[in-house]
Structure 1
Amino acid sequence: MLRPLRLLSVLAALAPALAPHALTAQRGIAPVASARPMVDTTALTRLSLRNVGPANMMGRSTDIEGVPGNPNLVYVGTAAGGAWKTTNAGTTWSPLFDRQSTLAIGDLALEPGNPQVIYVGTGEGNVRNSVSFGRGVFKSTDGGTSWTNIGLTDTRHIARVMVHPTERQTVFVCAVGHMAGPNAERGVFVSRDGGTSWTKTLYTDDRHGCADLDIDPVNPNIVYAAMWQFDRKQWTFRSGSEQGGIHKSIDGGRTWKKLGGGLPALIGRIGVKVAPSSPNTVYAILESRKEGYVWRSDDHGETWRRVSDDAKTICRGYYYSDLRVDPVDADRVYAIACNLSVSIDGGRTFRTISQRIHGDHHGLWIDPTDPARVWQVNDGGIAVSHDRAETWRFPNQFVLAQFYQLHADNREPFYFLGGGLQDNGNWVGPSRTRDPLGILVDDWNLISYGDGYYQVTHPDDPDYYVTDAQGGMVFRTRMQTREQEDISPQPRRNDGGPVNQLQYRFNWNAPVVASPHDGKTLYFGAQVLFKSTDFGGTWTAISGDLTKNDTTRHGWAGGPAMLEATTAEFYNTIYSVAESPAQAGLLWVGTDDGLVQLTRDGGRTWARVDARIPGVGPEAVVSHIEASRRAPCTAYVTFERKFMDDLKPYAFRTTDCGATWTSLAGNLPEGAYLQVLREDPKNPNVLYAGTEIGLYVSVTGGGDWFRLGGNLPAVPVHEVLVHGRENDLIVATHGRGAWILDDASVIQELAAAAAKPAYLFGMRTATRFATKMNKGSLGDDLFRGPNPAYGAIIRYYLKAAPAAGTPSKLEIVDETGRVIRTYAKIPTAAGINTTAWDLAHEASRPRRAPAADVALGDDGEGSFGGGGGPRALPGRYTVRLTIGTQVLEQPVTVRVDPTARTTPEGLSAQFDLAMQLRDLVSQANDTLRALDARKGELEARRRAAEALPNQEGAAVVKSLTMELAEVDTLITTLTKPANYPYWSEGPRVTERLGGLQRNVDAGHFPPTAPQQALSRELATELKQALDRVQKFLGRYLTM
């Protein structure tokens, strides 16, 4: 439906996103550079992107906290998507953390008895290869509306936060610390003043952190904490030591002693939980390869016995090692691991209870007032049970998808986008739909399973895909038939052992990319580069080993507590591949051990070109290579060194095939290490940097950066694309799914706009297509990715808001110079303003004059045939913006949906009849307006006659009353009275004309013979009615 023009929501102003409070005040992370970019980016504060999904499987979540006895209020923490809240038991959810400097949540804690007070420990405690760091502890006292950072900013990863059950100002933080290097701010911290100050009370050394913590609910002076040594590198990790273990405090966390009592000496990650109904019973789950997993104490932790060595309770020790105890049954224990399992015999035996929800579980909350109500979080989002975890509901109403990579095709009329997600396979979905409801869960489809990564579509068949998953698994899938082939050059499954057992070494995130010169030619990286010219049917190695091939790093990962064999630590592999769009056969390769290799002859000869890249330390990952479209020897390369405890950004450009390199990192802040850097296809001075803390843009060729905020939070960005046909900026985040900025002209032309007092941005081709709701009434518990506004998106820049009363309008002009649509009311705020033309001519003249015609807001509410005038024919139009004496123009082309079955002759016939019907409605409304005026005049005269004394005006009143009745009869001949019940009266000629216009204009078809006949019938009926009105209006006035 048509709605008045609205400005884009003012969500997160760009300048505040760059301000020091957003990214500073961290020990160990440098503040954001204070230098402002050369272009005033405050113009972009109202820019908004569309979050299009997918929400089907949501994404990795880390903690969930409910309120005892209140089933409506629940809080969720996520790995990289922020914190969320529901106040209606999961029907709808609201983000709470989008304005903060990090969206990585380790743990949540609510103040007992006051769920408005929330503590958030940031930085996920599950320190996998794709984990996001945090910035300490945050506190809210208003249910998550506002937040304050209350310290511990160098902890980076926090496993647990707990509030004392009775002393509510006492807060415990269990900090893992840095994932990939030593640091002091780790262990157990206690605040006795609600987070104003902190004391580190349990600390082993700068390599041991805290894995878990729990408080005895009956005697809160008893606190248990698990200390854990962990260190991750690209090729391995270390988990476990004899110095870690379970510690106990009996004085509220002031002093601690290490517990033994039969526990193993060498332990990795530990989960420890007190049985609330019997606090002398304490359970522990240990990452311990040979000495059992589930342990139990019945004397407050003084002595322990092994109760289970069931492998499903632990699965991957460093990633899970967690459990919960039922609040009323000390023998009912939930083990949180790959599967969720339960024991009802004190931990001796376990059965799986998570068959119908996603695996890889990370948290669980049980309502102590109703233990049947269980909320749970996993790699696929959240789930709720009302029968003690026997059956589950999956409330997937918001987007947490963690894209590793993203691809967009060119299908018509709307391109599809998709890619691989962390532990959720490879998905594809539309950039918009024909349904006014928007993009729904059912619009996205799964292509292949696993930890999904790259996606490529066949150039001749957009439903034919090549996708890959962890460690070199690659598939070719026909979506129409659901046939899927394993086309890997190494079909042996690549997990279950070290990489030195395999011929080829594929990265966890192995690149498979299409040639820009031939979409059927693919490149696939192991330690050698493979090439296929038949869309993956056959592969040929076109290089030798392009890595450092350090064989000392090809053995088992993990240890000493448990080994790991998931392919996540496969090393000396190709991580990035790019073929120059400007020259076929010129290929760039980047490796996970820091090498950049180049061939100019399609792979026959290779040369290292990284020797002169300045300032990058050892063991860097070449996270991305971007080959310029404009010059064969121009390329961009990015590095990241998070596995070496280095969070600095590294970005470089070469224009001479790697002979020399220039740093582009400029004012990118520490913490903004790059996953991708893209050169804009239309303006080479515009660069897009996908970083760990959001999307950064340079409009000056690099070095000078600003974070593109608006409604896009500081979420990790793993891919950025500009669509070749639609010019959309597509952003793939690792925590909040895919986002689209419709028409990137506003970024591409920003530098030019900023130099002008007013600027009208160029516009992409607008597509006229039919819309139709086809999902019915679905309620509120669903995800709705917004469609863009229907028609031509119009953006313009104003350096300053014009003075009040300054004439301002938008006009649409056809090729003959005729104005076909005027918007007399438009937004005129300083900065970027966004609106849309819905591809309609002026509507029929209304019965009651509106204040002004207003443009359509950029909110997806427009639709085809939606109550405006007839749709514009395909062709070239001009958008004319007038602000005072300034007049700006830009062309816009309108095309018809290429998939629609239509002809120019049919469209012309449709348009002609729609315009005729519009004009007939205008005539009817003109006549109704005249009758309304006569009626008002007669009513005024009657009131005057009724006011005369002694019934002097009685005769006149009677005459006027009769005349008013005649006016009402004429009005109801033309239109149905507004106060009649909907189905009590049929439509009159005006409504029937309007309805016929909408039906004629609803598709791309010529009018049918019955429609043409009805139009003639209605025209005759209207003429007869107008003749009667004319006769009435021509009569002598009564008084």
Structure 2
Amino acid sequence: MTWQPRTDFMPSLAIGAITFDPTAPKRVYAGSGEGNFYSNLGAGVYRSGDGGTTWAVVASAPFIGVGFYDLVVDPQNPKVLYAATTNGFYRSTNSGVSWSLRRPVKCWDISVHPRGGSAELLTTFADGLFVSTNTGTSFTAVALPAGPSTAWARLAVDRVMVAPDVSYVFGAAGTIAYLWRRSGTTWTKIASLPTLSVNQAWYDWYVAAAPDNKGLVYLGAIDAYRGSLRGSAWTWKDVTTQGSNSIHPDQHCLTFSPSNSKIIYAGNDGGIYRSANSGASWTALNKGLGITEMEYLASDPNTWKWLMTGTQDNGTIRFTGSTVWDHIADGDGGDCGVNQLNPNTVYHSYYYVSLERSNNKGNTWTILSPPSVPSLFYPPVEIFGSTVAIGATSLVVTRTGGPPWTTVSLGLSSGEVSTAMREIDANTILIGTNVGRMLRVSWTGTTWSKVVLTSPAPRYISCIAVDPSNPQRFWVTLSQVGGAMVYRSDNAGTSWVASTTGLPSIPMNAVVVDPASYKRVWVAADVGVYQTLNMGGAWAPFSNGLPNAMAADLLFHKQDRMLVCATRNRGAWVMAVP
């Protein structure tokens, strides 16, 4: 199996739901904006008439900044579509061109009766299970026996296509998972559930009923489980964590082959997997599927063809010139860095305050065990020689490349945390926070001292850059909208100038300065990269060939003059800069 990108130049690449028209399989709809996380990247509903080869926006309003959880075409009338979104349940009666909000409560899942039309429509909302018998015009709450008293974290619904009165509802509330099965008109709570975690139910959660078997159902959470009903007893099998037949955790969806329900496809944080035997064994379908979510970049100063990047839940990976990257660390890949004075020494983090060091460019690692301090999920990490720093509610720093560590109080307010850092040299560290505070922390020879600088704006600072030709000139980007998103200081943070001409009013995530021309600066945005040639007096797009993905980080390789862009869902891209 091979993959080809088909929506790289659509307004948004964050896709929360996709569905086929059952009466015309080459007609496909996609809802942009991911309900689980990236709802802010919602740009509307897309439609393809050629099986997904080409796409067009069929409706922008009312979905700008809205995330999709589910999207369904009515099997009786394909002009009718239903959408489950972060803003509620929507219906279209003209093939997706216009939409009406029918219930303004967060909506997670939709199960249509195979007859469609005014036949029963089961839908899950943040306030429970509801049914409609008038194509979503109105809804009635469904009472589930022995339900929770706490709010739902997630609720999913599905039905057996050959016996649509047999349905399942799978929910998470508090620390407990719930499952109900309906036969006819009676809902029954299933008490014998597998031991599963609900900690990530907001993110990975589904129920999938086998289309042709009233006693077979799959539950998706961190792992996926197959449930089989024999008489009145259920048996459960973990089908994703099973020794050598395991696949990646964090399950998001599961679907069945139309010709054989034993053939199933699982979608999770690791990509797409196929099983021909109901989950007993799996085959990865990810070769050529370029959807890696990169967080941070680092490089060898001697060649741009050695890169390291942390990826969302797919470890830390290394580029050495081939399009096949090396997997050099497991788990979540957070910020990383290279000792520019000795590039054999590299560092990577997992999540929260963690760090490992390699003295052979990532072949083997030593755990450095920094102290536990509250932080972002992926806190910023900076390396300058043997000075290694991690930004959190305090600064965690060492001057020896490893333990012992020093924790430096930053005097932050409640809820405030370090979000960006830059080491000017081994003795000077700049820190930005989620409320726009800027600090300089300096080594005095015996201790670390901090100075609070002027804030560019009281919003989330996403990146800091220092002009290589002038250590008094700072650049910062902000990823919280509500004003200018790029600022420059020419006096070491005493005052700031907004730099906005030519930039869209969207989050900015990273900034780098050309070492050979201080007036030339690049910023990475939620969509695209922008360049200025006059110190921010005017900006212009610098995205030729770059997909419309979230640009998460930028790295400029001084020696080779290559600009590298890490995207949040389309891997890494590079451009030679003359």
The TM-score normalised by the length of structure 2 is 0.92
Distance 1:342 1:610, change over 3 A: farther
Task: Name the residue aligned to 2:532.
Answer: 698
Q: Would you say 1:172 and 2:82 are equivalent positions?
A: yes
Q: Would you say 1:610 and 2:454 are equivalent positions?
A: yes
Task: Name the residue aligned to 2:100.
Answer: 199
Q: Would you say 1:245 and 2:128 are equivalent positions?
A: yes
Q: Would you say 1:375 and 2:257 are equivalent positions?
A: no
- Deviation of the 1:730 alpha carbon: 0.8
| Matching of residues 605-1004 of structure 1 within 5 Å | 605-611=449-455, 613-614=456-457, 616=458, 620-641=459-480, 646=481, 650-670=485-505, 672-742=506-576, 744-745=577-578
Q: Indicate conservation of the 8 Å contact 1:647/1:673, yes or no.
A: no
Task: Name the residue aligned to 2:419.
Answer: 575
| Matching of residues 241-320 of structure 1 within 5 Å | 244-262=127-145, 263-265=147-149, 266-289=151-174, 292-300=177-185, 303-312=187-196, 314-320=198-204
- Deviation of the 1:592 alpha carbon: 2.8
Instruction: Provide the rounded CA distance (Å) in 1 between the counterparts of 2:31 and 2:361.
Output: 45
Aligned-residue CA RMSD in angstroms? 2.4
- Deviation of the 1:187 alpha carbon: 1.1
| Matching of residues 203-222 of structure 1 within 5 Å | 203=104, 208-218=105-115, 220=117, 221-222=119-120
Task: Name the residue aligned to 2:124.
Answer: 226
Task: Find the structure with the greater CA-based Rg.
Answer: 1
Distance 1:717 1:155, change over 3 A: closer
Q: Deviations over 1:587-631 (max 9, x none)?
A: 2111234321124555743222234x35x4xxx322111122122
Q: Indicate conservation of the 8 Å contact 1:580/1:628, yes or no.
A: no
Q: Deviations over 1:755-777 (max 9, x none)?
A: xxxxxxxxxxxxxxxxxxxxxxx
Distance 1:667 1:531, change over 3 A: same
Instruction: Provide the rounded CA distance (Å) in 1 between the counterparts of 2:548 and 2:65.
Output: 19
Q: Would you say 1:156 and 2:42 are equivalent positions?
A: no
Of the two structures, which has the highest relative contact order with CA contacts closer than 8 Å and spacing of 6 or more?
1
> Which 5+ residue runs of structure 1 have no aligned equivalent?
1-90, 177-185, 229-243, 433-438, 491-501, 551-570, 746-1039
- Deviation of the 1:137 alpha carbon: 1.0
Instruction: Provide the rounded CA distance (Å) in 2 between the counterparts of 1:594 and 1:308.
Output: 50
Q: Indicate conservation of the 8 Å contact 1:245/1:270, yes or no.
A: yes
| Matching of residues 359-370 of structure 1 within 5 Å | 359-370=249-260
Q: Would you say 1:341 and 2:341 are equivalent positions?
A: no
- Deviation of the 1:424 alpha carbon: 0.9
Distance 1:131 1:471, change over 3 A: farther
Q: Could you tell which deviates more after superposition, 314-323 or 355-364?
A: 314-323
| Matching of residues 322-471 of structure 1 within 5 Å | 322-345=206-229, 348-355=234-241, 356-395=246-285, 396-411=287-302, 415-430=305-320, 432=321, 439-441=322-324, 444-459=325-340, 462-471=343-352
Letter in 2 for 1:509: Y
Instruction: Provide the rounded CA distance (Å) in 2 between the counterparts of 1:277 and 1:362.
Output: 24
Q: Indicate conservation of the 8 Å contact 2:370/2:403, yes or no.
A: no
Q: Could you tell which deviates more after superposition, 714-723 or 505-514?
A: 505-514
Q: Would you say 1:133 and 2:41 are equivalent positions?
A: yes
Distance 1:261 1:728, change over 3 A: closer
Letter in 1 for 2:557: H
Q: Could you tell which deviates more after superposition, 532-541 or 210-219?
A: 532-541
Task: Name the residue aligned to 2:393.
Answer: 527
Distance 1:161 1:371, change over 3 A: same
Letter in 2 for 1:339: D
Q: Deviations over 1:716-773 (max 9, x none)?
A: 111111112111111111111111113x11xxxxxxxxxxxxxxxxxxxxxxxxxxxx
Q: Indicate conservation of the 8 Å contact 2:513/2:522, yes or no.
A: yes
Q: Deviations over 1:659-690 (max 9, x none)?
A: 211111333223x2011111121222221111
Secondary structure of the 2:204 match is coil
Secondary structure of the 1:338 match is coil
Which of 354, 378, 382 is the aligned partner of 1:473?
A: 354
Instruction: Provide the rounded CA distance (Å) in 1 between the counterparts of 2:362 and 2:553.
Output: 29
Q: Indicate conservation of the 8 Å contact 1:328/1:368, yes or no.
A: no
Distance 1:410 1:588, change over 3 A: closer
Secondary structure of the 2:78 match is coil
Instruction: Provide the rounded CA distance (Å) in 1 between the counterparts of 2:274 and 2:7.
Output: 22
Q: Which has the higher strand share?
A: 2
Instruction: Provide the rounded CA distance (Å) in 2 between the counterparts of 1:440 and 1:578.
Output: 29
Letter in 2 for 1:338: I
Q: Deviations over 1:550-579 (max 9, x none)?
A: 1xxxxxxxxxxxxxxxxxxxx533222112
Letter in 1 for 2:239: I
Q: Indicate conservation of the 8 Å contact 1:406/1:417, yes or no.
A: yes
Instruction: Provide the rounded CA distance (Å) in 2 between the counterparts of 1:534 and 1:290.
Output: 43
- Deviation of the 1:308 alpha carbon: 4.2
Task: Name the residue aligned to 2:402.
Answer: 536
Q: Indicate conservation of the 8 Å contact 1:108/1:161, yes or no.
A: yes
- Deviation of the 1:341 alpha carbon: 1.4
Distance 1:472 1:116, change over 3 A: same
Q: Indicate conservation of the 8 Å contact 1:271/1:323, yes or no.
A: yes
- Deviation of the 1:119 alpha carbon: 0.7
Instruction: Provide the rounded CA distance (Å) in 2 between the counterparts of 1:462 and 1:660.
Output: 35
- Deviation of the 1:174 alpha carbon: 0.8
Instruction: Provide the rounded CA distance (Å) in 2 between the counterparts of 1:474 and 1:575.
Output: 17
Q: Which has the higher helix share?
A: 1
Letter in 2 for 1:150: A
- Deviation of the 1:110 alpha carbon: 0.6
- Deviation of the 1:456 alpha carbon: 2.1
Instruction: Provide the rounded CA distance (Å) in 2 between the counterparts of 1:481 and 1:688.
Output: 29
Instruction: Provide the rounded CA distance (Å) in 2 between the counterparts of 1:295 and 1:272.
Output: 9
Secondary structure of the 1:211 match is strand
- Deviation of the 1:150 alpha carbon: 1.6
Q: Deviations over 1:509-559 (max 9, x none)?
A: 1222112xxx23222223222332332243233x323421x1xxxxxxxxx
Task: Name the residue aligned to 2:375.
Answer: 506
Which of 48, 51, 59 is the aligned partner of 1:143?
A: 51
Letter in 1 for 2:254: L
Instruction: Provide the rounded CA distance (Å) in 2 between the counterparts of 1:93 and 1:382.
Output: 11
Equivalenced residues, count: 564
Instruction: Provide the rounded CA distance (Å) in 2 between the counterparts of 1:662 and 1:680.
Output: 19
Q: Indicate conservation of the 8 Å contact 2:369/2:403, yes or no.
A: no
Instruction: Provide the rounded CA distance (Å) in 1 between the counterparts of 2:175 and 2:80.
Output: 38
Q: Indicate conservation of the 8 Å contact 2:410/2:450, yes or no.
A: no
> Which 5+ residue runs of structure 2 have no aligned equivalent?
none
Which of 438, 446, 449 is the aligned partner of 1:596?
A: 438
- Deviation of the 1:461 alpha carbon: 5.6
Distance 1:146 1:406, change over 3 A: same
Distance 1:378 1:637, change over 3 A: same
Distance 1:481 1:382, change over 3 A: closer
Q: Deviations over 1:786-823 (max 9, x none)?
A: xxxxxxxxxxxxxxxxxxxxxxxxxxxxxxxxxxxxxx
- Deviation of the 1:115 alpha carbon: 2.2
- Deviation of the 1:419 alpha carbon: 1.2
Instruction: Provide the rounded CA distance (Å) in 2 between the counterparts of 1:685 and 1:149.
Output: 41
- Deviation of the 1:713 alpha carbon: 1.3
- Deviation of the 1:650 alpha carbon: 1.7
Q: Could you tell which deviates more after superposition, 598-607 or 695-704?
A: 598-607
